[in-house]
Chain A
Amino acid sequence: QVQLVESGGGVVQPGRSLRLSCAASGFIFSDYIMHWVRQAPGKGLEWVAVISYDESKKHYVDSVKGRFTISRDNSNNTLYLQMNSLRPEDTAVYYCAQSSGRRNGAFEIWGQGTMVTVSS
C-alpha cells in the first residue's frame, strides 16, 4: 500500500545536526512533489520545505533557510531533511508528505512522523 515512513529523529543538543529520512513505497516516488511539515508539542502544523520531482526546485520557510536542506534520492525512493544548527524552537514532530497536481497541491499522503527534540 501507499506508505511514507520517517526515521532519524531523536534528542540532540542545540547547534548540532540531524538528518531525517522518509522512505516511500506503493507509488512512483519520482512522480510526486514532496514536503516536510512539522508540529511543535501542543501546537499547529507548520510547513517546512518542498522539493520538486527532480530536485531542481526547493523552497523553505524563512525560519529554517540556511540551516535545513531538503533532498531526495529517486532511485531509492527516499526523501531527506538535513537539519544543521538546530535550535530549541525546532523541537517538533516532523512529517513527510506527498502532494499531487491532481489534488491542487494538497498533501494527500503523510508519514507517521518522527520526533526531534533539541535540548541541552
Chain B
Amino acid sequence: DIQMTQSPSSLSASVGDRVTFTCRASQSISSYLNWYQQKPGKAPKLLIYAASNLQSGVPSRFSGSESGTDFTLTISSLQPEDFATYYCHQSYGTPFTFGQGTKLEIK
C-alpha cells in the first residue's frame, strides 16, 4: 500500500500568514495527489487535484506543487475561514490512501 505522510500534524498561524503543508508518498504516484479541506462536522472539500490544479471555485491563494514524491499545499495569505484540517490523498492506485491530516489553528 502507498503510505502518505503529512507534516506537520498541527500548525498555528495568524491571519495574513503564508503557510505550507507537506505530504510525502512512500512511492512514486506521478501527479495523482489531491488536497482537501475539512471543517468540523462537515464533509471534505476538494481544493487541489493532480498536485497543482486549482479546483473550480477555490480561491487563488491556495496552490499546490510537487517534487518527486514530495507535495506541498501553500496558502499565500491566511483568511479566517481557512482554519481547518487539511488532508492529502493519492488517487494513483488502490487502496487509495489519505495522509493523517494537518490541523491549522489560529495563533
By the criterion CB–CB under 8 Å, are B87 and A44 in contact?
Answer: yes
Task: Knowing A44-B87, A44-B100, A45-B44 are in contact, say whether A106-B94 is a contact too (CB < 8 A).
Answer: no
Secondary structure dominating the interface of A: strand
Q: What bracket does the count of chain B residues touching chain A fall in?
A: 20 to 34
Instruction: Assign chain A's interface to a size class.
Output: 20 to 34
CA distance A111 to B44 in the complex (A): 9
Q: Which chain A residue lies CB-closest to B31?
A: A104
Residues in B with CB closer than 8 Å to A45 are: 36, 38, 44, 87, 89, 98, 101
Q: A104-B32, A105-B96, A107-B91 are in contact. List 16 more A-B contacts (CB 8 A).
A: A44-B100, A44-B101, A45-B98, A47-B96, A59-B95, A99-B91, A103-B55, A106-B49, A106-B91, A108-B46, A108-B49, A110-B43, A110-B45, A111-B43, A112-B42, A113-B43
